[in-house]
Chains A and B, each alone.
Chain A
Amino acid sequence: MPKVLLKELAFARSGDKGDVSNIGIMAKSGSIYKFLLSVITPEKIKEHFKGMVKGDVEIYPMPNIESIEVVLRQALGGGATSTLRFDQTGKSMCTALLRMEVEVSEDLLREAREVDRKIKQKYGERR
Chain B
Amino acid sequence: MKMVKIGSGSAFWGDMLEPALELAERADVKYIGFDHLAELTMALLNRIKLKDPQKGYVPDIVPWMKRLLPIAMPKGIKLITNAGGANPLQAAEEVKKIISELGLGPAKIGVVFGDDILPHINEIRAKGWKFKNLDTGEEDIDRIEDEIVAANAYIGADLIVNELKEGVDIVITGRVSDNALYVGPLMYEFGWDFSDKYTDLIAAAITVGHIIECAACVTGGMSNMWKVAERPWEVGFPIAEVYENGEAVITKTPGSGGIVNEWTVKEHLIYEVMDPANYIMPDGIADFTSVKIHEEGRNRVRVTNMKGKPRPETLKVCIGYRDGFIGEGWVFFPWPDALEKAKWAERWVRERFKRTGVQFEELRIDYVGINMLHGEVAPVEDKDYNEIGLRIAAKTKTREEAEAVRREATHLWNTGPLGTSFGVPLKVRPVIALWPSLVPREAVKTESRTLEVK
**Chain A residues engaging chain B, CB cutoff 8 angstroms:** 11-13, 15-20, 22, 24, 26, 48-52, 58, 60-65, 67, 69, 71, 73-74, 77-82, 84-87, 91-92, 95-96, 99, 119-120, 123-124, 126-127
Q: Number of contacting residues on B, CB 8 A?
A: 60
| Cβ contact within 8 Å between B433 and A48 | no
| Cβ contact within 8 Å between B431 and A82 | yes
A80–B263 alpha-carbon span in the complex (Å): 27
Provide the B344-370 mask, 1 if CB < 8 A to any CB of A, else 0: 000000000000000000111010000
Can you list 13 pairs linking A and B with CB atoms under 8 Å apart? Answer: A11-B263, A17-B274, A18-B39, A22-B270, A26-B267, A51-B376, A65-B291, A67-B270, A80-B39, A84-B363, A84-B364, A84-B395, A85-B375
| Cβ contact within 8 Å between B135 and A74 | yes
Task: List chain B residues, Cβ under 8 A from A26.
Answer: 224, 263, 266-267, 270
Partner of B267, one of A24, A62, A79: A24
Provide the B40-51 mask, 1 if CB < 8 A to any CB of A, else 0: 100000000000
A26–B221 alpha-carbon span in the complex (Å): 17
Tell me, rounded to whole Å, the shortest Cβ–Cβ distance linking A117 to chain B: 12
In the complex, the chain A residue whose C-beta lies closest to that of B220 is: A123
Stretch at the interface among B111-119, B140-148, B225-233: B225-233
Task: List chain B residues, Cβ under 8 A from A119.
Answer: 225, 228, 263
A115–B208 alpha-carbon span in the complex (Å): 26
Q: Does B168 lie at the interface of the complex (its beta carbon under 8 Å from any beta carbon of A)? A: no
| Cβ contact within 8 Å between A52 and B377 | yes
Task: List chain A residues, Cβ under 8 A from B134.
Answer: 18
Contact A49/B271 with A64-B291, A81-B40 known, Cβ cut-off 8 Å: no
Task: List chain B residues, Cβ under 8 A from A69.
Answer: 270, 273-276
Partner of A18, one of B362, B391, B431, B436: B436
Task: List chain B residues, Cβ under 8 A from A20.
Answer: 135, 274
Which residue among A82, A84, A91 has the maximum number of chain B CB atoms within 10 Å of its CB?
A84
Interface of A is mostly: mixed
A40–B379 alpha-carbon span in the complex (Å): 21
A60–B431 alpha-carbon span in the complex (Å): 33
Task: List chain B residues, Cβ under 8 A from A19.
Answer: 135-136
In the complex, the chain A residue whose C-beta lies closest to that of B277 is: A60
In the complex, the chain A residue whose C-beta lies closest to that of B368 is: A86
| Cβ contact within 8 Å between B39 and A124 | no
In the complex, the chain B residue whose C-beta lies closest to that of A91 is: B222
In the complex, the chain A residue whose C-beta lies closest to that of B360 is: A84
Which residue among A20, A48, A86 has the maximum number of chain B CB atoms within 10 Å of its CB?
A86
Tell me, rounded to whole Å, the shortest Cβ–Cβ distance linking A115 to chain B: 10
Partner of A123, one of B228, B274, B290, B393: B228
Q: Does B272 lie at the interface of the complex (its beta carbon under 8 Å from any beta carbon of A)? A: yes
A50–B378 alpha-carbon span in the complex (Å): 10
Q: Does B162 lie at the interface of the complex (its beta carbon under 8 Å from any beta carbon of A)? A: no
A78–B291 alpha-carbon span in the complex (Å): 32
Partner of A79, one of B135, B270, B275: B135
| Cβ contact within 8 Å between A126 and B374 | no
In the complex, the chain B residue whose C-beta lies closest to that of A119 is: B228
List the 5 closest pairs (A to B, CB-CB), nearest first. A24-B270, A15-B272, A50-B376, A123-B228, A11-B224
| Cβ contact within 8 Å between A81 and B434 | yes
Provide the B241-276 mask, 1 if CB < 8 A to any CB of A, else 0: 000000000000000000101010011111111111
Tell me, rounded to whole Å, the shortest Cβ–Cβ distance linking B289 to chain A: 5
| Cβ contact within 8 Å between B272 and A22 | yes
| Cβ contact within 8 Å between A13 and B222 | yes
Task: List chain A residues, Cβ under 8 A from B391.
Answer: 86
Tell me, rounded to whole Å, the shortest Cβ–Cβ distance linking B405 to chain A: 11
Q: Does B109 lie at the interface of the complex (its beta carbon under 8 Å from any beta carbon of A)? A: no
In the complex, the chain A residue whose C-beta lies closest to that of B430 is: A81
Task: List chain B residues, Cβ under 8 A from A64.
Answer: 288-293, 305
Task: List chain B residues, Cβ under 8 A from A95.
Answer: 373-374
Partner of B373, one of A24, A60, A92, A127: A92
In the complex, the chain B residue whose C-beta lies closest to that of A23 is: B270
Q: Does B394 lie at the interface of the complex (its beta carbon under 8 Å from any beta carbon of A)? A: yes
| Cβ contact within 8 Å between B291 and A86 | no
Q: Does B193 lie at the interface of the complex (its beta carbon under 8 Å from any beta carbon of A)? A: no
Tell me, rounded to whole Å, the shortest Cβ–Cβ distance linking A51 to chain B: 5
In the complex, the chain A residue whose C-beta lies closest to that of B429 is: A81
Task: List chain B residues, Cβ under 8 A from A123.
Answer: 225, 228, 259, 261
Q: Does B432 lie at the interface of the complex (its beta carbon under 8 Å from any beta carbon of A)? A: yes
Task: List chain B residues, Cβ under 8 A from A62.
Answer: 270, 276, 288-289
Tell me, rounded to whole Å, the shortest Cβ–Cβ distance linking A33 to chain B: 12
| Cβ contact within 8 Å between B374 and A92 | yes
B residues 418-449 touching A (CB-CB < 8 Å): 431-434, 436
Q: Does B326 lie at the interface of the complex (its beta carbon under 8 Å from any beta carbon of A)? A: yes
